[in-house]
Chain A
Amino acid sequence: MTMQQFILGACAFFVAFMLEHLPLPELLFWLQPQWALLMVTLLVLHAPRAYGLWLAVPAGLMMDTETGNVLGLHVITFTVHIFLVQLFIRRLDGFNLIQQMLMVLILVLAHQLVLFWVSQMLLPFPIPVSIWSPALTSALVWPWAYAITQLTIRRLLS
């Protein structure tokens, strides 16, 4: 991994967790997309050689600290998510934006379900997980996130 990739990854993390922490009025909480998950997806999608499954470990740990969960919960869900993204990476690359949005909807939905199941199985007090709204909002912000990261990550790393 080169210095450039490291710095880019660090910047992506910074932006994602800044957005994750953004204070919102109570009514809009439902509309908060899964920024960290989107960031991980985009990094893996744009630079699959540099960022792989290992990305789940730092991102998951930071997400757990950010949300105040038991360490490791999001590491599992992010690992499964990155695995799925890597499975579909060719198709995702070939899709147009609408198809990509649908794919993101399904992927984030799957992530929320995995999060729900893992917390049901491994935690004494399962955490509440909203399934639909993060998936919908993540899909809606996808085109913008994709365009911005394509401009930066692809240009810088190619």
Chain B
Amino acid sequence: MLAVCLLAAGLMWVDQHYTVFQPLRYAVGYVLYPAQQVALLPSTLTLWMEESTATRQQLMDDNVQLRARNLVLEQKAQRLASLETENIELRELLSASEQIDDRVLVTAVTAVDPDPYSKQILINKGGEDGVFVGQPVLDAFGLLGQVVDVLPRSSRVMMIADSNHAIPVQVNRNGVRAIAAGIGALDRIELIYVPNTADIQLGDLLVSSGLGGRYPRGYPVGVVVEVDHQPGDMFARVSAIPSARLDRSRHLLLVFSQGAGQVPSEEIWRYRK
């Protein structure tokens, strides 16, 4: 028994500091895959039933709505195109590096971590789709989190609300930088180490600052809802509501940004639980 325990402790140490056992995790992931699929069968079935029993009228209504939405979005996209070229020109004037559009991959949430303390979810894309550890994940409303564990056909995503998670942000209004840390509640994140004199107001939009090289720049992270200046305290207490719908979004986007995101393999474990 002691021998097995010591071996396992050694395995833990190696797995924490190096990535040599990643193939083993991958292989075990293959073994687990059928059992997980069977467990998800009821929810997959209900979803399929819902889709296949939709009436013609429902589908037509949906179609009309989507067409209208598409039109609005296309109109916005047209404006965006001209703005983007203008932006690139301005950047060239400033001789700054040009920002290239991010490539995304659509994925669906398959399960939520049964652990009530950890804010992690499972998604249905994995290593076979090119997902990598540290990859940023968005939903339609803002940044949701990052991939912390990759299996062949599923991955584990740590949400920005997890208490082990922190993300560098910037106030959209004036560019004040801060760090938004999760506190383990889905509807709240907190800015830590904000000086009492920092210009942060209620309603400020926080966007990712791209510092640290993990998250791409400029995606919405949250909206400030509470600023508390305690006289005598070194830091102000600032909390925000996450922009992403952490508890409701079903479809997510995995971002493949140019250059950013890829983290040297030896650093991967530092960010893991």
| A65-B28 contact, Cβ under 8 Å, with A19-B39, A80-B1, A83-B1 | yes
- Bound Cα distance A95, B163 (Å): 44
A-contacting 9-mer, from B29-37, B60-68, B228-236? B29-37
Question: B interface, how many residues as a size bin?
Answer: 35 or more
Q: Please tell me if the beta carbons of A32 and B273 are within 8 angstroms of each other in the complex.
A: no
B-contacting 9-mer, from A1-9, A42-50, A56-64, A97-105? A56-64
Q: Please tell me if the beta carbons of B112 and A26 are within 8 angstroms of each other in the complex.
A: yes
CB-CB < 8 A to B120: which residues of A? 68
| A65-B151 contact, Cβ under 8 Å, with A18-B35, A19-B39, A53-B1 | yes
CB distance from B42 to the nearest CB of A (A): 8
CB distance from A103 to the nearest CB of B (A): 20
Q: Please tell me if the beta carbons of B25 and A71 are within 8 angstroms of each other in the complex.
A: yes
B21 nearest in chain A by CB position:
A71
CB distance from B161 to the nearest CB of A (A): 14
- Bound Cα distance A73, B7 (Å): 11
Q: Please tell me if the beta carbons of A17 and B32 are within 8 angstroms of each other in the complex.
A: yes
CB distance from B200 to the nearest CB of A (A): 28
CB distance from B99 to the nearest CB of A (A): 33
- Bound Cα distance A118, B25 (Å): 20
1/0 contact string of A128-156 vs chain B (CB within 8 Å): 10100000000000000000000000000
CB distance from B238 to the nearest CB of A (A): 24
Question: A interface, how many residues as a size bin?
Answer: 35 or more
Does A157 touch B at the CB level, under 8 Å? no
CB distance from B117 to the nearest CB of A (A): 4
- Bound Cα distance A71, B27 (Å): 12
- Bound Cα distance A141, B31 (Å): 26
Q: Please tell me if the beta carbons of B8 and A23 are within 8 angstroms of each other in the complex.
A: no
Does B124 touch A at the CB level, under 8 Å? no
- Bound Cα distance A32, B111 (Å): 14
- Bound Cα distance A18, B35 (Å): 5
| A128-B115 contact, Cβ under 8 Å, with A60-B8, A61-B28 | yes
Q: Please tell me if the beta carbons of A125 and B273 are within 8 angstroms of each other in the complex.
A: yes
Does B202 touch A at the CB level, under 8 Å? no
- Bound Cα distance A32, B43 (Å): 18
CB-CB < 8 A to A83: which residues of B? 1
1/0 contact string of A4-26 vs chain B (CB within 8 Å): 00000000011101111111101
Does B105 touch A at the CB level, under 8 Å? no
- Bound Cα distance A72, B39 (Å): 24
CB-CB < 8 A to A20: which residues of B? 39
1/0 contact string of B1-32 vs chain A (CB within 8 Å): 10011011111110110000100110011011
| A17-B36 contact, Cβ under 8 Å, with A72-B11, A79-B1, A128-B115 | yes
CB distance from A112 to the nearest CB of B (A): 13
CB distance from A107 to the nearest CB of B (A): 15
Q: Please tell me if the beta carbons of B4 and A75 are within 8 angstroms of each other in the complex.
A: yes
CB-CB < 8 A to B25: which residues of A? 65, 71
Does B171 touch A at the CB level, under 8 Å? no
Q: Please tell me if the beta carbons of B31 and A69 are within 8 angstroms of each other in the complex.
A: no
Does A117 touch B at the CB level, under 8 Å? no
Q: Please tell me if the beta carbons of A72 and B15 are within 8 angstroms of each other in the complex.
A: yes
| A123-B16 contact, Cβ under 8 Å, with A21-B35, A23-B40 | yes
By a beta-carbon cutoff of 8 Å, the part of chain B in contact with chain A is: 1, 4-5, 7-13, 15-16, 21, 24-25, 28-29, 31-32, 34-36, 38-40, 43, 111-118, 120, 148-149, 151, 156, 164, 272-273
* 27 A-B pairs in the complex with CB atoms less than 8 angstroms apart: A14-B34, A14-B38, A17-B32, A17-B35, A20-B39, A21-B39, A23-B40, A23-B111, A29-B115, A32-B114, A53-B4, A57-B4, A60-B8, A61-B24, A65-B29, A69-B273, A71-B12, A72-B12, A75-B8, A75-B11, A76-B5, A76-B9, A79-B1, A122-B9, A123-B16, A125-B164, A127-B118
By a beta-carbon cutoff of 8 Å, the part of chain A in contact with chain B is: 13-15, 17-24, 26, 29-30, 32, 53-54, 56-57, 60-62, 64-73, 75-76, 79-80, 83, 122-125, 127-128, 130
